[in-house]
Structure 1
Amino acid sequence: MASFQRRGKTWQYTVSRTVNGKQKPLRKGGFRTKKEAQVAAAEVEADLRKGVVPQLTAIPFSDYFESWLNTFKTDIANNTLERYFNSLQVIKEHFGDLPIQEINKRSYQAFLNEYGQTHAKASSRKLNTHIRACVRDAIDEGMIRVDFTRDAVFTGDAGKKSSEKHLGYEDSKRLLQLIHKRLDISMTYYLLLLAITSGMRFGELVGLTRKDFNFFNNTINIDKSWGYTKSMHEGFGPTKNEDSVRLVKMDAETMNVFKQLFKSTPDNIYQLIFYSPSSKYNVISNSAANKVLIGMLDQLGTNRITVHGLRHTHASVLLYQGVSVYYVSKRLGHSDIDTTLNTYSHVIKEMEQRDEQKSADVFQKMLV
């Protein structure tokens, strides 16, 4: 049962509650009208009937996000963790001590709009991804009731077009053929070969050891990464997330190339495939790999992409060839399929147009 009191210019509700035989009412004030207090009290009573004790103490959003980060993000790679802390800094700078309970869809959208004025749209989307995960847990904990990140609109510089981050099928084919012709030049070409045929992240590639290769089943086990920048872990470390631990089925030709490589080259102290003793981080550097890749792309007369772009190329080629987006998501080690759908929306849209005509043709052919 709730009661209502006017306190100065605002209203307060008091909801009766008994805990272990003792009265422990819930009170909250600051409502502009009695009606607002009644609505809020009704929500509290509904929660209590479900066995949920509402969180009435205002907690700054930045404090909650930091606590959430330190509690739920303890098993992610250092460079990924650093991105979360960057998001925390953005939250602190914009929201200050504003309680999470006082943020609504309108004020949150205004925050994203302001952020988008000086950042790329992809950065706005990534920031929202971090905040959305936190907000959903806050709802589960009874801190707030509404997901103010739902249906958020992203603004900002479009950045590089998605179609420019990967190669098309024909260019991919030409690049793959050129890589095979240059394998005897240096180990960097072996790395690029594996990048385009497996879709691995760079840290996963340079973290591979010989025991990860199963030549009987033509699979590669991915369960670790190697730190190749100062913001990453030193040496071996975890993959980006739990879903990144996976077994990737490879084509027989690529596996045979590495089988012959292992027979003709000695192992090293770390058992790393792409060991480079002259490199600061003991593996082929990302910049060196990009330099070799760009040289080949220029020779082929096609768009320049990065080694990470080979990962996008790998996924795009599979999707264009009709491979299920669900399998591609699993193969890439994405934490959820939304990541895959967002990253390759341009490819999926083109596939939908193709499948639209295909669907119409199915029943047309049944009458022929």
Structure 2
Amino acid sequence: MAKKRLSIVDIAEKLNISKTSVSFIMNGRAQEKRISPELVERVMKHVKEVGYKPNSLAKSLRTGKSNIIGLIVEDISDPFFGAIARLIEDKAYKNGYKIIYCSTYNDTQKTKEMIDMFRDRHVDGYIIVPPEGIEDEIKQLQDDNMPVIMFDRYLPLIDTDYVIVNNQFSAYNATQHLIGQGYKNIALISFFTNQTQMLDRIKGYKMALKENNLKPCIKELPYTQNTKSLVEPVTSFLKSKKNVDAILFGTNRDATTGLKVMSSLGIRIPEDIAVVTFDDSDAYELHTPQITTIAQPVEEIAESVISTLLAKLKDVDKNIKNQSIILHTELIIRGSSTAKSGKA
């Protein structure tokens, strides 16, 4: 039989005192309520002996504060989101908060359910990587005076704090780099989505091509957790586009699949096709050749996100205005995008 969880009532009955006195002592209000030091010592000694731990949910209902932050990301197993989550969790803990996190896989319905679950847990604030279609849920949180910070992307119709990178310029800069290296038929392979970060990356890619009188060649992939299902469409695209001499991958996940397909087809990098991808990874330095990447400032993103949220949590009077924080990426040039053969 499971051991019964001790309550304040159990402690009061055992010590033959009122449960109100026990509650005041456990909540640090003994001096305020003029409870004798002797009784405080007696209660705390018993609490230590029996290993009593207050019910955190009940405490949050009494105090209106749980010291828990809800973190909702696209995929916690993704190196980018995993690294940011770890850094956020570390700083939150140092400031007295714990993190509960979940992955949504860009599923709108699941995201709504996770927001409801966190609301039931009385979290103090939300950090969200938003999929499309959750505007009403975010608006409701704001109406309830709950601080909400978004990162990686934002919802254009919602006025809230967010932390992103300069996606449009980053894609533009990477495409210009490839053009400068002599590549003229540059493809973009990325997941199909109307999320702001991907729309901006497409804009930057197209802008660079237009400035150089080059035509875009975009392969849109469905978002899926089953990356094996992406092999066929990427393979078909590469076989049908024989003139493509460079590829910009929109995300780390796209690149992982793309590099495997290129290897299986015997496509040499960069002799046959040059490669640049968003999101840096240790694996790209181990690849032969090493892969040129658009590195997002993971530590700076995490610091901006958690610092903004902590400031909002301390802002009882709600005087702090929402911030749009846009950070810079770094184009790390490696062997996968060296100058095209024949270029002086």
TM more than 0.5: no
Tell me the TM-score normalized by structure 1. 0.26
TM-score, normalised via structure 2 length: 0.27
Return the structure number with greater strand share: 2
Q: More relative contact order in 1 or in 2 (CA 8 Å, sep 6+)?
A: 2
Q: Which has the higher helix share?
A: 1
